[in-house]
Chain A
């Protein structure tokens, strides 16, 4: 599975859009990009995933560059409850190994 690189921390003002970047320059053609977030002392929560097209759901939008080497998670109107660690993960959809490898993630602080 390809490795990912994320900034260790970011700040965002409440009500503004939070844009969280992720680099995955070694991504393969059959690997998806997944985003999870973890609020302190809780289990991670799935946010969104995509292959090459941009995706949107009720929580966020995922923008993947045309070369698929990087992506951005967008929280359109960040609230204080969005303060969490955000993990970007890439892996093959039919990975026989069953592994999902989490890196260090980005700690997002949403401030009033």
Chain B
């Protein structure tokens, strides 16, 4: 089955630690996105990538980093500079400029 796989489903971060959230898609989509969702809130865009080896900051990129070395993969690193990382993180993809997004099932990140 084609789709987007996010892992792990739950992740815990210690103070001062960097953690990486995985996002893999086998839909052959060009564009990939990372969103953050806080309880009771809508989604906020962190980073997005339209093609391999290129990505742009979204509205809340500070404290996060990404890479896009392969079309299928778009990992998100939550760095120690992100002081309030506890949130639900969602990865999505779309076919180039086609605006129909396909989402993964999300990763819940919590701070120990």
Asked if B33 contacts A100 (CB within 8 A), the reply is yes
A101 surroundings in chain B (CB, below 8 A) = 45, 59
Q: What interface size band does chain B fall in? A: 20 to 34
A8 to chain B, nearest CB (A): 10
When the two chains form their complex, are residues A41 and B33 in contact, meaning their CB atoms are under 8 A apart? no
Q: Is the CB of A21 closer than 8 A to any CB of chain B?
A: no
Bound together, the chains give a CA A104 to CA B41 distance in angstroms of 6
Chain B residues with Cβ below 8 Å from A68 are none
| A residues in contact with B111, CB < 8 Å | none
A81 within 8 A of B: no
Instruction: Kindly identify which residue among B42, B92, B99, B103 contacts A49, using a CB–CB cutoff of 8 Å.
Output: B99
Chain B residues with a Cβ under 8 A of chain A = 4, 31, 33, 35, 41-45, 48, 50, 56, 58-59, 88, 90, 92, 97, 99-106, 108
Tell me the A residues contacting B by CB distance below 8 Å. 32, 34, 36, 41-46, 49, 87, 91, 93-95, 97-105
